[in-house]
Amino acid sequence: MSDNVQAVARDQLRTIVERIERLEEEKKTIADDIKDVYAEAKANGFDTKALRKIVAIRKQDQNERMEQEAVLDTYMAALGMLRTPE
């Protein structure tokens, strides 16, 4: 019975490792696809840093983003980096 249990555990482990390997390969493929889209955007004259920032901002919760923007504005105002309306 012990050999049978070990064989089952070994098969499960092998299956898990193979699934992880497939997912890692899919992740690499997706990362390459994203890289290609950014290269296409750059070739069309778009600023990829700005695009990356927009993508990151869109991932955030709206309240979290507003809080971060308020803190950033406060710090920039304290450093004299914000224009005041004339």
Q: 28 vs 1, 16, 57, CA distance in Å?
A: 41, 18, 23
Pair (55, 80) in one structural domain: yes
pTM of the complete model: 0.70
pLDDT band at 70 (very low <50, low <70, confident <90, very high): very high
Q: 60 vs 8, 27, 75, CA distance in Å?
A: 43, 22, 21
Q: Is the pLDDT of residue 39 over 90?
A: yes
The mean pLDDT value of the chain amounts to: 94
Q: Is the pLDDT of residue 1 over 70?
A: no
Q: Is the pLDDT of residue 55 over 80?
A: yes
Mean pLDDT, range 26-51, rounded to an integer: 98
Pair (42, 76) in one structural domain: no
State which residues form the domain around 7: 1-46
Pair (65, 34) in one structural domain: no
Q: Would you state the torsion angle of the CA atoms of residues 71, 75, 78, 79, taken in this order, to the nearest 10 degrees? A: -160
Angle, to 10 degrees, between the axis of helix 2-43 and the axis of helix 48-59? 130
pLDDT given at position 85? 61
Pair (6, 20) in one structural domain: yes
3-state helix, strand, coil in the chain (%, to 5): 85, 0, 15
